[in-house]
A and B are shown apart, each in its own frame.
Chain A
Amino acid sequence: MSVPWQRTWVVFRKEVMDGFRDRRSLYSILVSALLSPLIMAVMFTTMAERQRSAEELRLPVAGQAFAPAFVDWLRQQSGVTVVEAPGNPEAAVRQGDEDVVLIIGREFAEKFARSLPAPVQLVGDVTRDTARPKVQRARALVSAYSSQMGSLRLMARGVSPAVATAVRLEAIEVSSAQQRAARILSFLPLLLVMAAFVGTLQIASDSTAGERERGSLEPLLLNPVPRSALIAGKWLAAACSGALSVVCSILLCTIVLSRIPLHELGGRFHLDAASYALMAAVVLPLVFFSSAIVIFVAMLARSYKEAQTYLGMLLSLPLLPGALAPLFPLAGKPWLAVFPVVGQYALMEDLLGGKPPAAFWYLVAALALIGSAVLLLALTTRQLRREATIFGRG
């Protein structure tokens, strides 16, 4: 019994050595490892940037001379800097030179003095996502000033300002900064699952479809080694490379997320070392499955080119659960762990949502992955007995 395992070890060592001498497999590990941290970094930085830009509002105001008191009040608001408006405010906003411009009407002082609504125009572009928070802030500033002045006028007339407020609206924002950050973090499972697939791709396809393409499969099969032992060696080598890419990916994510200005998204948000370890526990067993399915698909193909086409399609598989998530929410369903890939998403969603699943489900997920991998490998071994697979369909 020990002999086939020794041969598996021989194949494993050769494929790992061969794979790590292959630039393409190093690139695929590198790319998949860097992809998630980079995307995370970009998304978080732009989100923080946007948040900060709304809090620190640089507000161009036209016609400042018509309402000096209003402009003074604006200047006193925290984070607001009042600057001179460009000559043509609408053109400036349309061209994107300014995000928002406030125009104080010529008759502002006159109407204000007569307690009539004083005209103020706010120029903005609703289609520009980056400008929207600034426009909202400017609008809020103007209505705050308006209601303050209104209250003062009522008091001057001996009326309680409360009379003018028939309904007091209090908006309760339930989405915390943590939740907004979680929306970005929801990409993390997808990126890690992709890392598990992309990381195995090169070694798994080169050692199977590539082996046949370069005519070394037939010589290899002439050795007195059970085909299952050969396939197992190739499988473990590919899984190893996938695991490397997942581990690198998670490590880089911890570095990136620790350097990102998370406090600007609300200081309560953080992922600790334990959550990263649990995430690794969910994603790492996936490499056993991803490498097995890549090997299976690559062996089905008639040529390396055909294999690459199939594998391109295979890579869209991990995207599916994410795309279907609005229809079939995955949170709170740890039993989904019995399904490869879908289960990993379900477990990670709970993990990121602050409700780590029970240890039992990690075990179930790992067993389900290894079980389906073994099934795929058995099918591949059977495929490898077919003459058409070994010699091509000539």
Chain B
Amino acid sequence: MIDIRNLSKSFGNVQAVRDVTFAAPDGAVTGLLGANGAGKTTTLRMLSGLMKPDAGSLLVDGIDVCAQPLAAQARMGMLPDARGIYPRLTPREHIHYFGQLQGLAGERLVASTAALIEKLGLQEIADRRAEGFSQGERTKVALARALVHNPRNVILDEPTNGLDIMSTRATRELIRRLRSEGCCVVFSSHIMQEVSALCDRIVVIAQGAVVAAGTPGELRAQTGCDSLEDAFVKLAGLADDTEEFSS
């Protein structure tokens, strides 16, 4: 369960996130939809505890991220925008390393690592050094190490960015599985089809502000559009208009 209220953040004169409020319930997939530079990544960085908001609050399972970042981080599994991996370590070693940093050890660590390698189809490369891995393989490793501690809240920043069709399908499959396991899944994307195919709830962000939120059906009804794409374009345009009004 993730609860974000009145979140704001500026860099110099640029207000990247303004008064963002939304909640992501357990057992559902919440999509953050927005164009590049709309403020999705900044919002997720604040959720991760690595960036301090100027105002507002972030609660993960009721834990205040700003007050207790480590406790909140322990309840989250996050695939950030940066998904660099260590070229001289194997996927299994990556997963182990992050598992140990999450406090896992012994039997639990080994079992959790093996399960993730299987779930993400990493068996063939599990013990090969990551040097020269494809984008898709790297993302899978980054995903696996983020999920090693079986987090109840999973946050994915553009998880299918740069992936081929097979990897994209595998990732979507994983997201559905996490939902069926009762996790709270939040993922950001600028790809309409992906959001409409996966999300139970959509939060549309434009120029740092939430311009609409609801189920795909509610969004279509709200804008009077048949397709979600049209609804999105309309909502993004709406943000432009309000911008003009306010300035």
Known contacts A387-B51, A387-B52, A390-B50; A216 and B97 CB within 8 A of each other: no
At the interface with chain B, which of A103-111, A190-198, A222-230, A322-330? A222-230
Q: Does B145 contact A (CB under 8 A)?
A: yes
Secondary structure of the A contact surface, majority rule: helix
Contact of B86 (CB < 8 Å), options: A216, A223, A387: A216
Q: Does B22 contact A (CB under 8 A)?
A: no
Q: Which residues of A contact B145 (CB under 8 A)?
A: 219
Q: Which residues of A contact B93 (CB under 8 A)?
A: 14, 17
Contact of A223 (CB < 8 Å), options: B71, B89, B98: B98
Task: State in angstroms the CA–CA spacing of A215 and B85 once bound together.
Answer: 7
Instruction: Let me know if A14 and B97 touch, CB within 8 A.
Output: yes
Q: Which residues of B contact A217 (CB under 8 A)?
A: 82, 84
Task: State in angstroms the CA–CA spacing of A299 and B17 once bound together.
Answer: 28
Task: State in angstroms the CA–CA spacing of A227 and B78 once bound together.
Answer: 18
Instruction: Let me know if B73 and A222 touch, CB within 8 A.
Output: yes
Instruction: Let me know if B50 and A387 touch, CB within 8 A.
Output: yes
Shortest Cβ distance from A227 into chain B, in angstroms? Answer: 10
Shortest Cβ distance from B137 into chain A, in angstroms? Answer: 15
Chain B 42-54 interface 0/1 with A at a Cβ cutoff of 8 Å (1 = within): 0001001111100
Q: Does A214 contact B (CB under 8 A)?
A: yes
Q: Which of B70, B88, B89, B93 has the most CB of A within 10 A?
A: B88
Instruction: Let me know if B86 and A18 touch, CB within 8 A.
Output: yes
A: interface residue count bin: 20 to 34
Instruction: Let me know if A222 and B71 touch, CB within 8 A.
Output: no
Instruction: Let me know if A18 and B89 touch, CB within 8 A.
Output: yes
Instruction: Let me know if A10 and B80 touch, CB within 8 A.
Output: no
At the interface with chain A, which of B99-107, B187-195, B217-225? B99-107
Residue of B at shortest CB range from A9? B100
Chain A 264-293 interface 0/1 with B at a Cβ cutoff of 8 Å (1 = within): 000000000000000000000000000000
Task: State in angstroms the CA–CA spacing of A149 and B102 once bound together.
Answer: 94
Shortest Cβ distance from B40 into chain A, in angstroms? Answer: 14
Task: State in angstroms the CA–CA spacing of A187 and B147 once bound together.
Answer: 53
Instruction: Let me know if A216 and B88 touch, CB within 8 A.
Output: no
Instruction: Let me know if B88 and A224 touch, CB within 8 A.
Output: no
Task: State in angstroms the CA–CA spacing of A129 and B230 once bound together.
Answer: 87
Task: State in angstroms the CA–CA spacing of A211 and B87 once bound together.
Answer: 11
Q: Does B142 contact A (CB under 8 A)?
A: yes
Q: Which residues of B contact A3 (CB under 8 A)?
A: 103
Task: State in angstroms the CA–CA spacing of A217 and B84 once bound together.
Answer: 8
Q: Which residues of A contact B129 (CB under 8 A)?
A: 21
Instruction: Let me know if A216 and B101 touch, CB within 8 A.
Output: no
Instruction: Let me know if B83 and A215 touch, CB within 8 A.
Output: yes
Q: Which residues of A contact B100 (CB under 8 A)?
A: 7, 10
Q: Which residues of A contact B85 (CB under 8 A)?
A: 214, 216
Task: State in angstroms the CA–CA spacing of A11 and B86 once bound together.
Answer: 13
Instruction: Let me know if A22 and B50 touch, CB within 8 A.
Output: no
Task: State in angstroms the CA–CA spacing of A220 and B78 once bound together.
Answer: 11
Task: State in angstroms the CA–CA spacing of A14 and B145 once bound together.
Answer: 14
Q: Which residues of B contact A14 (CB under 8 A)?
A: 89, 93, 97
Known contacts A22-B88, A224-B73, A226-B70; A219 and B101 CB within 8 A of each other: no
Shortest Cβ distance from A382 into chain B, in angstroms? Answer: 14
Contact of A224 (CB < 8 Å), options: B71, B81, B82, B89: B71
Enumerate B46-64 residues with CB–CB distance to A below 8 Å.
48-52
Task: State in angstroms the CA–CA spacing of A219 and B83 once bound together.
Answer: 7
Q: Which of A17, A215, A390 has the most CB of B within 10 A?
A: A215
Instruction: Let me know if B81 and A223 touch, CB within 8 A.
Output: no
Shortest Cβ distance from A214 into chain B, in angstroms? Answer: 4
Known contacts A10-B101, A391-B45; A224 and B74 CB within 8 A of each other: yes
- Can you name 13 extra interface pairs (CB under 8 A) apart from A215-B84, A220-B101, A224-B70? A3-B103, A7-B100, A214-B84, A217-B84, A218-B80, A219-B78, A219-B80, A223-B73, A224-B71, A224-B101, A387-B50, A390-B51, A391-B51
A-B CB contact pairs (8 Å), 16 listed: A14-B89, A18-B89, A214-B85, A215-B82, A215-B83, A216-B84, A216-B86, A218-B80, A219-B78, A219-B146, A222-B50, A222-B73, A224-B71, A224-B73, A390-B51, A391-B51
Return the 8 tightest CB-CB contacts between A and B, nearest first.
A215-B84, A216-B84, A215-B82, A223-B101, A214-B84, A224-B70, A21-B88, A224-B74
Which A residues are within 8 Å of any B CB, using their own CB?
A: 3, 7, 10-11, 14, 17-18, 21-22, 211, 214-226, 387, 390-391
